Amino acid sequence: MVGVQSSFWGGGRSESGSIRGNRGSGAWLYRNTNNIIYIVNQQIKMKMSFGLCSIFLVFWLASIAYASDPSQLQDFCVAVPDAKNAVFVNGKFCKNPNMVVADDFLFQGLNKAGNTSNQLGSFVTPVNVNQLEGLNTLGVSMARLDFAPYGINPPHTHPRATEAFLLVEGTLYVGFVTSNPADPTQKNKLFTKYLYPGDVFVFPQGLIHFQFNVGKTNAVAFASFGCQNPGTITIANAVFGSDPKINPDVLAKAFQVEKNIIDYLQAQFWYNSN
């Protein structure tokens, strides 16, 4: 057996030196086993790091998806009227809690009909943080809507809130339009419904919607919003009644009409019922 070679152990050894050869082979196996374990551990750590990053990303995106008014950090934060030349904040400054009274949380007058004697035949009485300071940081607001026969609350959006709309009197034709579809061959989808007293309809946040009185009598509705100040953008007013005016060439190109039509529309008085 003298001089027998073993490819497994990586070198020659004699019978008399077998102990020394076995020791050398054991050291080689030990070192390589450690290397294999190290590589496997590194791969596991990389996968764990990737997994943790993925979990963090999911939670971060979820926090954006469910973003709304900031959570309140105290029982209430009654708004202080804006001072001239004051620094603007995202919301309102808080009144000293020791100075807060019950009237700060009270608004009176939603039992009174709004004046619908205007070119739209509708009137909106808002109750948001600008009318009721106690709503500051609470994330809710509401409004009363009055409609004369065939009056309309024209197409508009609320950029910061979803609207739950309750009809208590009359008959309304209401609807909203979806945002641009991902498929360019598809069109924006319209959802409409005729509402009767006791019906509730929801307008998703930011989508263009409208309410039209199709009855021969007055209509009354109440709307609630998931924001202390939902904001309103009336489409026609914003596009044709802005100050300064949008360049007519831009609108003529956008609407694919002659410039004189845009000039006519921009010359109109755009009544704001909100």
Convert the pLDDT of each residue in 165-177 to its tens digit. Answer: 999 999 999 999 9
Residue with tokens 């924006």: 188
List the single range of 28-37, 55-64, 67-76, 117-126 with lowest mean pLDDT. 55-64
pLDDT at 8: 42
Q: Side by side, which strands form the sheet with 122-127?
A: 122-127, 141-147, 219-225, 163-169, 200-203
Q: What is the pTM of this model?
A: 0.73
Structure-block tokens of residue 197:
């007293």
- What's the pLDDT tens digit per position in 63-73? 444 446 777 66
pLDDT at 45: 60
Q: pLDDT confidence of 2, banded at 50, 70, 90?
A: very low
Tell me what the pLDDT averaged over the chain comes to.
83
Q: Residue 223: how many CA atoms within 13 Å on its side-chain side?
A: 28
More confident position, 162 or 41: 162
- Which value, in Å, is the radius of gyration of the alpha carbons in the chain? 35
77 pLDDT more than 90:
no
* Cα 228 versus chain centre, distance: 14
pLDDT at 35: 65
